[in-house]
């Protein structure tokens, strides 16, 4: 089983960026945690981060026929991107949305998630461990399919 893990804009700044929301650990720390969990679950992962919406769309399209699941933190594109929603709908790969913070309890404009309607689950407000929970949900879903 192969899972694509996508991180959107500014998540390369983890560790520096707004630690009150995102903590002090880095993207490299996050990827190490995800890779360890993937190994424990017996699946392979590719982790990719981009600050560019079109790059993320390209990556989702390229996963067609290759990845069994997608774990995505679209970051700010959560709240703006119909293109990411459409990409996930197009490839029909089971997808889980994850957020480090809980956007629903923050600014009003963060309460909208376009991608959510195409996702089998959302994990939010649980910090980095939320990615591990998202991975577990995805793997279980694919195994049950």
List active site positions.
Answer: 22, 99
Residue 47 within binding range of ligand DQA, rule CB under 6 A:
no
Query: How many C-beta atoms lie closer than 10 Å to residue 64's C-beta?
Result: 12
Residue 12 within binding range of ligand DQA, rule CB under 6 A:
no
Q: Which DSSP letter does residue 135 get?
A: H
SS3 126: coil
| Measured distance CA(135)–CA(38) in Å, rounded | 8
What does the CA dihedral 75, 37, 31, 47 come to, rounded to 10 degrees? -70
Residue 49 within binding range of ligand DQA, rule CB under 6 A:
no
Residue 7 within binding range of ligand DQA, rule CB under 6 A:
no
Site mask for ligand DQA (CB under 6 A), range 83-112, x = bound: ----------------xxx-x------x--
Shortest spacing between CB 34 and ligand DQA, in angstroms = 14
| Measured distance CA(75)–CA(64) in Å, rounded | 22
Among 76, 83, 121, 142, binds ligand DQA (CB under 6 A): 76
Nearest-CB residue to ligand DQA? 75
| Measured distance CA(131)–CA(145) in Å, rounded | 21
Residue 126 within binding range of ligand DQA, rule CB under 6 A:
no
The residue ranges that bind ligand DQA (CB under 6 A) are 10, 73, 75-76, 78, 99-101, 103, 110
């Amino acid at each position: 089983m192969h899972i694509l893990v996508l991180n959107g804009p500014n998540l390369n700044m983890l560790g520096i960026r707004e630690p009150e929301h995102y903590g002090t650990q880095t993207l490299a720390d996050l990827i190490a945690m995800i890779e360890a969990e993937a190994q424990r679950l017996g699946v392979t992962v590719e982790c990719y981060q981009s600050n560019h919406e079109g790059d993320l769309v390209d990556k989702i399209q390229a996963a067609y026929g290759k990845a069994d699941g997608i774990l995505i933190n679209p970051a700010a594109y959560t709240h703006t991107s119909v293109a990411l929603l459409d990409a996930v709908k197009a490839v029909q790969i089971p997808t889980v949305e994850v957020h480090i913070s809980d956007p629903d309890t923050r600014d009003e404009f963060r309460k909208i998630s376009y991608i959510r309607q195409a996702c089998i689950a959302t994990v939010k407000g649980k910090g980095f461990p939320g990615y591990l929970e998202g991975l577990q949900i995805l793997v279980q879903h694919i195994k049950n399919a």
